[in-house]
Chain A
Amino acid sequence: MSDSDGRRGATRRGFIKGALAAGAGAASAGAAGAEAGDPAITELQPWMRAFGPGVDASPYGLPSEHESHVRRRYVEWLRPDTISAVNFTPIHQLDGIITPNGLCFERHHSGVALIDPGRHRLMINGLVDTPLVFTMEDLKRFPRENRIYFLECAANSGMEWRGPQLNGCQFTHGMIHNLMYTGIPLRHVLDEAGLKPGAKWLLAESADAAAMTRSIPLEKALDDCLLAFAMNGEALRPEQGYPLRLVVPGWEGNMWIKWLRRIEVGDRPWHQREETSKYTDLLGDGRTRRFTFEMDAKSVITSPSPQAPITHGPGPTIITGIAWSGRGTIARVDVTLDGGVNWHTARLSGPSFDKSLHRFYFEFDWDGRPMLLQSRAIDSTGYVQPTKDALRAVRGVSSGYHNNGIQTWAIDSEGRAENVEIS
């Protein structure tokens, strides 16, 4: 994996080998002497002797340098360039349910717009009594709400429709993040402009060079959409839409327009490029589903996984992962060690919010034999995450989007994991 992980792994392995050798030596030579103590204890470490950096050495704090391998990663062959491209959240290295701001995957169509908030405006036009323009300052005077939601790209796991491709849940499932948003209910701003009779759809538009647009049913907008200006308590990051993004809970990430500059109200959808050429689901019979907004319930084991192998050998072992549903909360997650012959209900830990990530754990005593690991989410509507083959039976293999099938990791006796499919 990374340098620092590799070094740590090597040291740990070296230590185990050393201990074994010492044990063997002790066995052959009798009680020839006590084992040497752990140098982490017997030797004075630099941080035990001298001062560290003072207060304010890093006015905006950063993770330990030993965590520098925890970062977003990019798959070069996926997209023609880095301007209209995607990178992935390192979900195999995260725990809990909240994604740190700097690790949220990025998907842009014209790079990251670098917007001066003083010159950012939100316009509401179309079927309204009065088309209005708001500054960021205006928007922050509406009553605010704090809510935690996952955002999943409709193309998450999309590369896996035809079969296993990428060895790592960062790549197979990393187009997701889960944040606390602070923002104002979209309905307040629509009320301010006054909806005209006949209003049924909205068009949301971004201020970057892609001028990204999506049609959204008015019903959803009035229900739970937010105009968000903060993520996890601080201003949105530029790559997440600073200074303003639309939050469309439970629905595909592309609809959560970043750098939001305009909302038009209309009586029917616009059929823009991102809801015709893209983000539509081609079925095996040649027909194509459109406006497949909701994200189906899904889960994945994040550790162990190909980028996060078991390094400790047999004994107490923890399986952990994330589960989510665009239709509610997660009621239950089951885990199998034997490729789906027998299932065990995992333990959910942490708050369970509507349309938010849930964290699950399954603790067991690994005997060191190979395993076929899977997780299966069941949401509050009773929907059970299907196998990939069950999805293919309905949708074919050219869908590209909305792949929520059960993921399998094959674990070998060394604890290494591989992305596989099973019968």
Chain B
Amino acid sequence: MSRFRDLAALSLGVILAASAAFAQQGGKLGLGRPASPDELAAWDIDVRPDGLGLPEGRGDVLTGEELYTGLCAACHGDFGEGTGRLPALAGGEGTLTDEFPVKTVGSFWPYLSTVWDYVHRTMPYGNSQSLSDDEVYALTAYILYLNDLVDEDFVLTRENLPAIRLPNEGGFIPDDRAGTELPAFSAEPCMENCKDRVEITARAGALDVTPEAEER
């Protein structure tokens, strides 16, 4: 009896050790449970540039204008020009090489799917996921219109969205630091008499924008 118990304990130990090793090797522990279709539908809301994830639906510029005026303009401005420190959604074309570039959907964003996805997941600010799919199509159409990229009779649909190109799509390049920076920044550094003279060229004190400056 007691020997039997020992044996059982021993084999249990073997099983546990074996399954831990199994997990390390990429096996399965049988944890978790399958996601149901309604659970997937509730959470799988992301949209890709090729249209994967876009739901059925449509929306036109004029419907979008009405929605925008009621739900968005207070923060993003009547013409998408932004208010205070809240972001502009339109304008800024041709400013990317300026001293102070203005990055908007029209001037900077590479893909329209990102507008649909972002507005749908988190706008209006403070009332996330309150818009219907058709409303998001209409608002996205209106943001295109604010950027002079479509006419006022334009209708955005699941079918035509992936084909619409934003002006700066070609402006993006992959991370090229491995070629452009790493070799240049990997030389053995100088330790002695590295410069003839040193001058201060700029000071933060001149700006005085640090919080609690009076306490320091």
Residues of A within 8 A of B (CB): 1-3, 6, 73-77, 79-80, 83-84, 109-110, 123-126, 130-134, 138-139, 141-143, 163-168, 171, 187-189, 191-194, 203, 205, 209-211, 213, 261-262, 264, 266, 268, 270-273, 276-277, 280, 282, 284-294, 296, 306-307, 334, 338-343, 372, 376, 378, 381-386, 390, 394, 397-398, 410, 418-423
| A343 and B189 contact, Cβ closer than 8 Å, known pairs A164-B204, A191-B28, A277-B108 | yes
Interface residues of B in 181-207 (CB under 8 A from A): 181-182, 184-195, 197-205, 207
Given contacts A203-B46, A277-B109, A419-B203, contact A341 B117 (CB under 8 A): no
Kindly list chain A residues whose C-beta atoms are within 8 Å of the C-beta of B114: 271-273, 276-277
Of B6-14, B133-141, B156-164, B172-180, the stretch lying at the interface with chain A is B172-180
Q: Which of B85, B113, B205 interacts with A80 by CB under 8 Å?
A: B85
The secondary-structure label for the interface of chain B is loop
Within 8 Å CB of A410, what residues of B?
A: 200, 203
Residues on B with beta carbons closer than 8 Å to the beta carbon of A84: 125
Q: When chains A and B are docked, how far (Å) is the Cα of A25 from the Cα of B209?
A: 45
Interface residues of B (CB under 8 A from A): 20, 23-24, 26-29, 31-35, 39-40, 43-50, 52, 84-86, 96-97, 99-101, 103, 105, 108-111, 113-114, 117-118, 121-122, 125-126, 128-129, 168, 171-177, 180-182, 184-195, 197-205, 207, 209-213, 215-216
> Closest CB of chain A to B42's CB: distance in Å?
9
CB neighbours of B40 from chain A (8 A)? 123, 125, 131
Task: Establish whether residues A210 and B128, one from each chain, have CB atoms under 8 Å apart when the complex forms.
Answer: yes
Q: Which residues of B contact A203 (CB under 8 A)?
A: 46
Nearest A-chain residue to B103, judged by Cβ: A277
Cα–Cα, bound, A423→B215 (Å): 30
- A277-B114, A340-B198 given; A286·B97 CB < 8 A: yes
Chain B residues near A109: list those with CB within 8 A. 122
Given contacts A164-B204, A307-B216, A384-B185, contact A272 B117 (CB under 8 A): yes
| Contacting pair A79 B101 (CB below 8 A) | no
Min distance, Cβ A360 to any Cβ of chain B, angstroms? 15
Instruction: Looking at the assembled complex, report how far the CB atom of B110 sits from the nearest CB atom of chain A, in whole angstroms.
Output: 6
Using A110-B128, A340-B198 as known contacts, list a sample of 17 further A-B pairs with CB atoms less than 8 Å apart, ordered by residue number in A. A3-B215, A124-B35, A125-B44, A126-B44, A168-B210, A205-B46, A213-B46, A271-B48, A276-B110, A288-B108, A340-B194, A341-B193, A342-B191, A343-B191, A398-B96, A418-B204, A423-B200
- Cα of A71 to Cα of B99 in the assembled complex, Å: 35
CB distance from A262 to the nearest CB of B (A): 5
